[in-house]
Amino acid sequence: MSEILKLLIDRLETPIGEMLIVADREGNLRAAGWTNYETGMRRLLRRHYSEDGFVLEPARNPHGFTEALQSYFEGDLTAIDALRVQTAGTPFQREVWRALRMIPCGTTVSYAHLAEKIGRPAAVRAVGLANGSNPIGVVVPCHRVIGANGSLTGYGGGIERKRWLLEHEAGASSARRKQRALF
DSSP state of 4: P
Residues 55, 111: Cα–Cα separation, whole Å: 34
Q: Which of 130, 142, 145, 172 is catalytic?
A: 142
DSSP state of 151: -
Assess whether 105 carries a catalytic annotation: no
Question: For strand 54-58 and strand 5-14, is the pairing parallel, antiparallel, or unpaired?
Answer: parallel
Residues 161, 71: Cα–Cα separation, whole Å: 17
Residues 126, 120: Cα–Cα separation, whole Å: 10
Spatial CA neighbour of 172 closest among 125, 126, 106: 106
Query: Hey, is 30 helix, strand or coil?
Result: strand
Q: How many CB atoms within 10 Å of residue 88?
A: 17
Active site residues: 142
